[in-house]
Amino acid sequence: MGVAAASADFTIPKLLLENQQKWTDKVWMRKKELGFWREYTWREACANIKDFSLGLMSLGFQRGDVMAILGDNDPHWFWAQLAAQAAGGMVTGVFSSSGAREVKYFLEHSDARVVVAQDQEQVDKILEIKSELPLLKKVIYWDAKGLRGYDDPILASFDSIRETGVKYGQEHPGAFEESVAKGRMSDLALLMYTSGTTGLPKAAMVSYASLIASNTSFYSMNPITEDDEWVSFILPGWSAEQGLGLLASLNRGVKMSFPESQTTVQENIREIGATVLMYPSRLWEMTAATIQNKIAETTFLKRQAFRLALPIAYRVADAKFSGQKLGWAWLMPHSIARLLVLDPLRDKLGLLRIRVAFTAGSALGPDVFRLITAIGVDLRQLYGMTEIGVSQHTATDIKVDSVGVIYPGTMVRITDNGEILARGGSQVLGYYKNDKATEEAFAGGWYHTGDAGHLDDDGHLYFLDRVEYMSRLADGTQFAPQYIESRLKFSPYIKDAFVVGDESRSYIGAAVNINYDNVGHWAEKKRITYTTFADLSQKPEVCRLISGEVKNLNAKLPGGQRIHRFINMPKELDPDEAELTRTMKLRRRLVEERYQDFISALYGGKEKVAMDVPVFYRDGRRAVVKAEITVNQVN
């Protein structure tokens, strides 16, 4: 932390002013626009933040007011955040993929008075619902394309508010600095919404004190320096981007770069040469699927090279996990494998210069973790939630099926029913406007995670699944659905899955989402014709393909935890239909209720079941049609 960190008056805006003096002409942020990187020094960025903050004050934005920000990663996103916090306000981030009704929930619940939106698409969502938001006073956009003909008085451009701030500053000299000076460590910095896997998202109240404690623990286990490069593409309102992105930049001087678009992230990570990377677990799963797909589809010689290199890479990775030192008999062939196979592969994935990488969001399956480590990425699992950071792997202490060791300053205990409880300085203050939920979640001063897990003798924490989702079969066999699902997704042909089974069932069943791109490429190579996702998913050849993947997993699972029957779902699980959260976590109860017919088919006696299913066409059209679903037996 900066010099101010020792003071009880420390806030992020105060650290910002320190940095302006320390790194005045050093590049802080970069944004790729129209093929070129636009750079902003600390001086330039801080000037924009100051002027925009003064512009907010001129609008009547006061201490304790809430600003909502709706858009993709961009310097303007974080300038707006820091400007609002400098004015004494709180900030909440809204996912840019949210529909108008979802946006209304966040804005209404947070009591947002000002919204900063990215572009016309986001502005249109707000204009659609503005009559239902009496507290909303101003909507400010930073990308004016398509908005010049809009004449609604609630709208203003980012630059116009900044220019107003310049005039306000001339009329009120010292107003910005005085506002920053009033800040206290106990002040609320963020309203950070939970993912909402078990209900409506709750707004966790995050203070500057919580942010300080969280980052102090993180830096004690992860040396981050001003020489590091970070590409900001994770959801800006998510704790990972706030902590690993913005706060690492403010505390360590890490350079922040912003991709040209969400579709060019991997290309931009490679171009920038990022050294620190955070992927949600889902993206690492997709990366593993990409690696396996590339191996399967490359030339014969390259495929043979991969097959020779990967066993060596796995041996070195396993030695790292166990702390074993290998001799030259392994290190020499590994050096050759890196030079000829592994380094070129990481380069194509944009991972060549990554010094340390993290995964979070949900526990990453051990198969995926081993593969990513084997190709040469120093990967570490983080475990925590919006409410508190709990544990992570360290550079020298990794157990692939654990979620690491407990952070300094954090305490963990396991209840009699196996629930993980945690407490520590990074703990949030509770939930905004929800005293009942706060009392339940933080009873006795401990945060009740709702997750099932255990600690081993070496202090490693193991996450199994949500306590409420831990299941037991009729014969008493206990299993964790999420653990089996994460291992299913190691297959390059499986994108999603949900596993079912309870005390009335004698075996485990699964509903699988095929990876449309990878299975589609496979089908084209096999000259299998198909029309839609639904059609491809039910092809006999595809059913046999997925059956083989399930059999591969079953061979690694205890007998009672093996999948006996599965279906390929004729549609993808979709966050727009609330089946997944915006952070791509499964809303299990909703999915199980919505697809009860699929579950019933898994435990029926028929091999084919006719049912009404939604079909998604490539051109975006949707329809509900009668389809015949194959119920596959795994022998």
**Which domain CATH number covers 15?**
3.40.50.12780
Quick one: which of 472, 526, 539 has its CA closest to 502?
472
pLDDT in tens, 159-204: 999 999 999 999 999 999 999 999 999 999 999 998 766 668 899 9
Q: Which of 360, 388, 406 is the last residue of a domain?
A: 406
pLDDT at 577 (0 to 100): 77
What is the rounded CA–CA span in Å between residue 512 and residue 537? 9
CB neighbour list of residue 525: distance below 8 Å, 6 or more residues apart: 297
Between 332 and 594, residue with greater pLDDT: 332
In a domain, 463, yes or no: no
Percent of the chain with pLDDT over 70: 96
Percent of the chain as helix, strand, coil, to the nearest 5:
40, 25, 35
What is the rounded CA–CA span in Å between residue 244 and residue 361? 14
Both 343 and 486 in a single domain? no
What string of DSSP letters covers 146-208? Answer: T-TT---TTEEEHHHHHHHHHHHHHHSTTHHHHHHHT--TTSEEEEEE---SSSS--EEEEEH
Residue 172 φ/ψ, nearest 5 degrees: -130, 70
pLDDT in tens, 220-254: 898 888 999 999 998 898 888 998 899 989 989 99
Q: Name the pLDDT band for 586 (thresholds 50, 70, 90).
A: confident
Both 533 and 605 in a single domain? yes
Q: Name the pLDDT band for 20 (thresholds 50, 70, 90).
A: very high
pTM: 0.87
Quick one: which of 557, 404, 566 has its CA closest to 478?
557
**4 has a pLDDT exceeding 50:** no
The residues pairing with 138 across neighbouring beta strands, listed in sequence order, are 114
The residues pairing with 454 across neighbouring beta strands, listed in sequence order, are 462
Structure tokens belonging to residue 302: 């390259």
What is the rounded CA–CA span in Å between residue 247 and residue 206? 14
Both 216 and 164 in a single domain? no
CATH of the domain at 521: 3.30.300.30
Percent of the chain with pLDDT over 90: 71
In a domain, 434, yes or no: no
Both 113 and 260 in a single domain? no
Q: Name the pLDDT band for 319 (thresholds 50, 70, 90).
A: very high
In a domain, 528, yes or no: yes
- Determine which of 63-72, 176-185, 422-431, 616-625 has the lowest per-residue pLDDT on average: 616-625
pLDDT at 5 (0 to 100): 44
In a domain, 54, yes or no: yes
pLDDT at 608 (0 to 100): 86
Other residues' Cβ atoms within 10 Å of the Cβ of residue 37: 15
Both 71 and 174 in a single domain? yes
Residue 470 φ/ψ, nearest 5 degrees: -60, 130
Both 616 and 475 in a single domain? yes
CB neighbour list of residue 618: distance below 8 Å, 6 or more residues apart: 532
Both 56 and 179 in a single domain? yes
What is the rounded CA–CA span in Å between residue 536 and residue 238? 35
pLDDT at 426 (0 to 100): 93
Q: Which of 134, 155, 185 is the last residue of a domain?
A: 185
Distances (CA, A) of 63 to 44, 107, 183: 25, 18, 9
CATH of the domain at 337: 3.40.50.980
Between 249 and 5, residue with greater pLDDT: 249
pLDDT at 205 (0 to 100): 97
Q: What average pLDDT does the segment 617-631 reach?
A: 70
Given a contact cutoff of 8 angstroms between Cβ atoms, the answer to whether 631 and 551 are in contact is: no
Given a contact cutoff of 8 angstroms between Cβ atoms, the answer to whether 233 and 265 are in contact is: yes
Q: Name the pLDDT band for 7 (thresholds 50, 70, 90).
A: low
| Domain range for 303 | 207-406
CB neighbour list of residue 93: distance below 8 Å, 6 or more residues apart: 68, 69, 70, 77, 192, 193, 235, 236, 237, 238
Q: Which of 151, 185, 219 is the last residue of a domain?
A: 185
Both 244 and 381 in a single domain? yes
In a domain, 445, yes or no: no
Tokens 């997944």 -> residue: 580
In a domain, 591, yes or no: yes
Both 177 and 300 in a single domain? no
pLDDT at 35 (0 to 100): 85
Other residues' Cβ atoms within 10 Å of the Cβ of residue 201: 18
H-helix or E-strand containing 630? strand 622-633
Between 513 and 608, residue with greater pLDDT: 513
Both 390 and 517 in a single domain? no
**453 has a pLDDT exceeding 90:** yes
Between 607 and 415, residue with greater pLDDT: 415
Distances (CA, A) of 302 to 294, 337, 362: 10, 12, 33
Q: What average pLDDT does the segment 99-119 reach?
A: 95
Quick one: CA dihedral 56, 57, 62, 64, positive or negative? positive
Beta strands in 48-158 (DSSP E): 66-70, 90-94, 112-117, 138-141, 155-157
As for how many domains the chain has, the answer is 3
Given a contact cutoff of 8 angstroms between Cβ atoms, the answer to whether 29 and 39 are in contact is: yes
Given a contact cutoff of 8 angstroms between Cβ atoms, the answer to whether 534 and 627 are in contact is: yes
Average pLDDT over the chain reads 91
In a domain, 363, yes or no: yes
Both 613 and 484 in a single domain? yes
In a domain, 454, yes or no: no
Q: Torsion angle, CA of 60/65/71/77, rounded to 10 degrees?
A: 80
**8 has a pLDDT exceeding 70:** no
Both 181 and 225 in a single domain? no
Task: Classify residue 543 by its DSSP letter.
Answer: H
